[in-house]
Amino acid sequence: MFILDPTYVLVIIAFFLTMFASFGVQATFKKYDQIQNSRGLTGADTARRILDANGLYNIRIERVAGNLTDHYSPNEGVLRLSDSTFNSRSVAAMGVAAHECGYAVQHQVGYAPIRIRNGIVPFVNICNMLSMPVFIIGLIFGIGDLAMIGALLFGAVLLFQVVTLPTEINASRRALATIQSMNLLEGDEYYGAKRTLTAAAMTYVAAIASTALQFLRLLLLANRRRQ
């Protein structure tokens, strides 16, 4: 039923959108990972300077395995930088490290979108857990309204991604502004960090588009069952 259904083309489009964005960020990072910053700062050095400049002396910086697995954990008060960022002196690594620091600053100042995102996490998790079982049961037993409820529950995932996007863009803007104000990068170096963060932001845009297409497909299938 799912394989032969014509709406499956939406899944294919979503897949290629995600792959294209992923390829773009990987290629951009690889390009600017070859360019060393003139100050000789590592990603960890960059993060420490930015955090301290914002009074976040208590935030620890740790190394985490993987490539571009960088993330900030507010509950633990830890900023984790991946193998490709921690000791790298590339302008790409500096951009990524600064971006992660942007999240820490957002939590410090009480940035509204991130508070909203954190507030809806429990609701989104429940909706995400129930959406597909409810949707599939509705389709199997021919209960169109139940299938529609499952599809609408999946919409919470899309809502979460839409709410998350402003935090990603703001973190990048904070990162670039901090890099400039602290004179960590100049000229072409700054341009390389900016290109890296722009490519990363496009992966979030692609993720939203992909989820929106999947959401549309579920709505179409559920509506067909109701009819």
What average pLDDT does the segment 130-148 reach?
A: 95
Rg of the chain over Cα atoms, rounded to whole angstroms, equals 20
Q: Which amino acid is at 37?
A: N
pLDDT at 1: 46
**Domain-wise residue ranges, the chain:** 8-226
Annotate 71-95 with DSSP letters as a single string: EEETTTTEEEEETTTSS--BHHHHH
Global pTM value: 0.83
- Residue 100 designated active-site: yes
Structure confidence at residue 4 as a pLDDT band (50, 70, 90): low
Question: What digits encode the pLDDT tens for the residues 176-225?
Answer: 999 999 999 988 999 999 999 998 888 999 999 999 999 999 999 999 88
Lookup result for tokens 């072409």: 188
Question: What digits encode the pLDDT tens for the residues 201-214?
Answer: 889 999 999 999 99
Contact 71, 52 (CB under 8 A): no
Query: Catalytic: which of 100, 168, 186, 189?
Result: 100
Which pair of structure tokens corresponds to residue 35? Answer: 């360019």
| CB-count exposure of residue 35 (10 Å: 0-12, 13-18, 19+) | middle
